[in-house]
Structure 1
Amino acid sequence: MPKISNKGKLMPASPIRKLTPYADQAKQQGKKVYHLNIGQPDIETPHVMLDAIKNIDFKVWAYTQSEGNLSYRKKLVEYYNRANYNISVEDILVTTGASEAIIIAMQTCLDSGDEVIIPEPFYANYNAFAWMSNVTVKPVLSLIENGFALPPISEFEKLITEKTKAIFICNPNNPTGYLYSYEEMVELKNLCLKHDLYLFADEAYREFCYDGSKFYSPMHFDGLEDHVVVFDSISKRYSACGARLGCFITKNRQVIQTALKFAQARLSPGMVAQIAAEAAVDTPQSYFDRVNKEYTERRDMLVAALNKMEGVYCPNPGGAFYVVARFPVDDSEAFCQWMLEEFSHDNQTVMMAPAAGFYSTPGAGRDEIRLAYVLNKEDLNNAMICLDKALKEYPGRKMIGSKESVVAH
């Protein structure tokens, strides 16, 4: 029998989907499973997108340009320039989701064996994309005690070597929901200029900032034009995860021209998704206002409920629609699996994502869990009732007051 490649054997599995077989088994047993494990919003996709698909009128489902339809890129320029990005159509490459944009960037900007520094916890698939690109991730630890703020720049400096080529942030952050401040972005700008590094910025959650907080992109800072590569997606902004459409933005001409060669090798992004996304740029602001209000209420409900549970600590995030909370459990993966295999309350249970999978440092995040507040408030409340009861029954619960479970609030 032919062998599987070593790369394939070592390719990291998704911690977000790892427990899916247990959830499927729970459903087969008749349990209702509240999915807080994955960032799949239940918010309705804007009607303008769906109408654009319903009204499609073409006779040949053809290739598009490798860089994306010109008409769509022109609409994207409108969107980004309303947000003060000051870009042109030549600065945008349309991709099959932000995932492809990140993979293309890693292969464009980094050689095999080069290193990228990423604050952890981080979106688990960054590890997978780096592995596919023969790039080494160097994690710099952010802490739950200060809400997962940007680690001190001195910690980044310790990791920089001749192999370091990029700093990579997600803002607002998946999985923590942290929103980087103006001061933190200035620190990152100065660091990248000092060491001549790329600054990769995943901005898929740009629209989700709460409590009047302002979003800052590295595209807003002068002097970084040749350093910044932005990744974006329509998945979260328009609740259109299945469209699989994103983009890659940079003002660095050499980078965009090189990235286009990788884009040409995969031919083109999908035509129908671009038609829908082009229409989506005209989504009224009222849609985003309603969505923001809904997510703010969900966040407030979730954070309050978690912090009322004995031994649980959850920071209040400024963006995205995730939290990472610390639980009084021996091992969060074992707890999340137990929730699906062994526990039910009124024939209901909860699926969550163990946070260890969002860390690159071995052993980090073992008592932390990511929860996505993507369900309506009634379901979210029921999920919190289940979770509270589960924690009281879990046989691997830590004793409250033990050194491991104490967190500074």
Structure 2
Amino acid sequence: MPSISKKGNAMPQSPIRKLVPFAENAKKKGTKVYHLNIGQPDIKTPQVALDAVKNNDIKTLAYARSEGSEEYRNKLVEYYKKHQVNVTANNIIVTTGGSEALLFTIGSITDPGDEIIIPEPFYANYNGFSTASGVKVIPVISKIEDNFALPKIEDFEKLITKKTKAILICNPGNPTGYLYSKEEIQKLKEIVLKHDLFLIADEVYREFTYDGLEHTSVMALDGLEQNSIIIDSVSKRYSMCGARIGCIVSKNEDFINTAIKFAQARLSPPTYALIASEAALDTPQQYFDDVKEEYVERRNTLITELQKIDGVKVANPKGAFYCVVELPVKDSDRFAQWILEDFNYNNETVMVAPASGFYSTPGEGKNQVRIAYVLNKKDLIRSVEILGEALKQYPN
């Protein structure tokens, strides 16, 4: 029988999606499942984006340009200017989601066997994208005790080798909700300039910062023009996860000229989604103000309820809509499966994402889960109540 590639066998499963069959089976049995596992907001998509697709008069659904339409990229230029990022349309390549932006970026700056340093826990698909490109993730561990703050620069320096090509961060962070300060971004700037590395920043949660704190983009700092790359997406910003539109932003011409070849190879981003994303840029600021206020209330509700459960430790997120929770269990993968397969509380249960999949260091995060506070406050309270009851009944 023909064999599967080593790379294919090495591809990690998604900690977010691998439990879906168990959730579906629970639903077939009549159990209601509260989804705390995935960052799918219940916030409504801006009507202006939906109307742009609904009311268009396209007669032939043609290819878009490989780099995305000039109209959309020009509007993105104005959007970024509001966030202290001054670029031109030629600095932007539109991609099929932030996922493709990451794949194009890794493909453009690394060769098989190269290394990328990433503070962990990190977005689980960073492992998958790196594996697909034959690149090794070198983790530098951040701790729940420090609220997942940036590890010491000395910890990064010890890991840099001739094979190191980049440092990758998510800001604000998925799965931690941590928001890097301007001082921390400045420290990263110094180390990538010292070692001539790229600094890749996944900034898809830029709008969602709390407690009066502000987001600092890697492209807002002078001196990083040739080293910084932004990964971006409309998915969370406008609650448009299904649109699958993202982009790469960089002032490094060699990088952009390389990445466009990957974009040409996959032809183009989806036309209808481009139309919706361009229209979404006209979303009024009040939309984001209301969404931020809602997420702050949800975060506060979730943290308050979780702290009522004995043996639970939770980090306090300052951005995005995730938090990492430490549970009094030995193996959160087994626990997450058990609460879907063998447990219900008044015919209801919850689905969480085991945090081990957000680490690449073996054994780390085994007693942690990621919770996305994308449900309304009433459902969050009920979900935590069910989680607490599950912990009481869990045999392990």
Considering the TM-score relative to the shorter chain, is it more than 0.5?
Answer: yes
Q: 1:7-406 counterparts in 2 under 5 A? A: 7-396=7-396
SS of match in other structure, 2:2:
coil
Q: CA deviation at 1:189?
A: 0.4
Report if aligned partners of 2:41, 2:236 keep a CA contact under 8 Å in 1.
Answer: yes
Q: Deviations over 1:267-299 (max 9, x none)?
A: 110111011111100100000011001000000
SS in 1 for 2:192: helix
Q: Greater CA deviation, 329-338 or 91-100? A: 329-338
Question: Structure 1: which 5+ runs fail to align?
Answer: 397-409
Distance 1:104 1:28 in 2: 39
Q: CA deviation at 1:234?
A: 0.2
Answer yes or no: is the 8 Å Cα contact 2:245–2:274 preserved in 1.
Answer: yes
Q: For the residues of structure 2 that align with 1:224 and 1:165, how far apart are their CA atoms?
A: 15
Q: What is the alpha-carbon distance in structure 1 between the residues aligned to residue 57 and residue 150 of structure 2?
A: 48
CA distance in structure 2 between the partners assigned to 1:345 and 1:290 by the alignment: 33
The Cα of 1:2 is off from its aligned counterpart by 2.4
Aligned length: 396
Inter-partner Cα distance in structure 1 for 2:95 and 2:4: 29
Letter in 2 for 1:393: Q
Q: Which ranges in structure 2 are unaligned for 5 or more consecutive residues?
A: none
For normalisation by structure 2, the TM-score amounts to: 0.99
SS in 1 for 2:18: coil
1:142-199 superposed Cα distances (whole Å, 9 cap, x missing partner) = 0000100000000000100010010000000000000001111110000001100000
CA distance in 1, matches of 2:390, 2:135: 40
What SS does structure 2 have at the residue aligned with 1:25? helix
User: Counterpart of 1:404?
Assistant: none
Q: Distance in 1 between matches of 2:8 and 2:196?
A: 33
- For each residue in 1:357-406, what CA deviation from the matched residue of structure 2 results, as whole angstroms up to 9, or x when unmatched? 0000000000011000011111111101101111111111xxxxxxxxxx
Q: Distance in 2 between matches of 1:256 and 1:308?
A: 50
The whole-number CA distance in structure 1 between the counterparts of 2:8 and 2:138 is 21
SS in 2 for 1:237: coil
Aligned residues of 2:118 and 2:167 also touching (Cα < 8 A): yes
Q: 1:79-125: CA deviations, max 9, x gaps?
A: 11111100000000000000001000111011111100000000010
Tell me the CA shift for residue 346 of structure 1: 1.2
User: 2: CA distance between counterparts of 1:306 and 1:377?
Assistant: 13
2:173 aligned counterpart, secondary structure? coil
CA-CA distance at 1:3 after TM superposition? 2.2
Report the residue type matching 1:106 in the other structure: I
CA distance in 1, matches of 2:20, 2:198: 36
State whether residues 7 and 134 of structure 2, in contact with CA within 8 Å, keep that contact through their aligned partners in structure 1: no
1:246 alignment partner AA? G
One-letter amino acid of the counterpart of residue 199, structure 1: L
User: Following TM superposition, by how much is the alpha carbon of 1:258 offset from its aligned partner in structure 2, in angstroms?
Assistant: 0.8
Q: Distance in 2 between matches of 1:37 and 1:315?
A: 17
Query: Which stretches of structure 1, 4 residues or longer, exceed 6 Å deviation after superposition?
Result: none
Q: Which residue type is aligned with residue 231 of structure 1? A: I
d(CA) in 2 for partners of 1:332 and 1:208?
Answer: 28
**In the alignment, residue 268 of structure 1 is paired with which amino acid?**
S
Give 3-state SS (helix, strand or coil) of 2:176's partner. coil
| 2:85 match: secondary structure | coil
- Identical aligned residues as a percent: 60
- Please give the alpha-carbon distance, in whole angstroms, between the structure 1 residues aligned to 2:59 and 2:52: 16
- Measure, in 2, the Cα distance between the counterparts of 1:312 and 1:265: 48
CA distance in 1 between counterparts of 2:272 and 2:93 reads 17
- On the 8 A contact 2:172/2:320 being kept in 1, the answer is yes
RMSD: 0.7
1:61 CA displacement? 0.5
In 2, Cα distance between the equivalents of 1:120 and 1:249? Answer: 24
Q: Which residue of 2 aligns with 1:403?
A: none
Q: Give the 3-state SS of the residue equivalent to 1:213 in structure 2.
A: coil
The worse-fitting range, judged by mean Cα deviation, of 227-236 and 335-344 is 335-344
User: For residues 134 and 5 of structure 1, what CA distance do their matches in structure 2 show?
Assistant: 12
**What TM-score do you get using the length of structure 1 for normalisation?**
0.96
What is the distance in 2 between the residues matched to 1:330 and 1:366? 7
SS in 1 for 2:13: coil
> SS of the counterpart of 1:235?
coil
Check conservation: 2:93, 2:247, Cα contact below 8 A.
yes
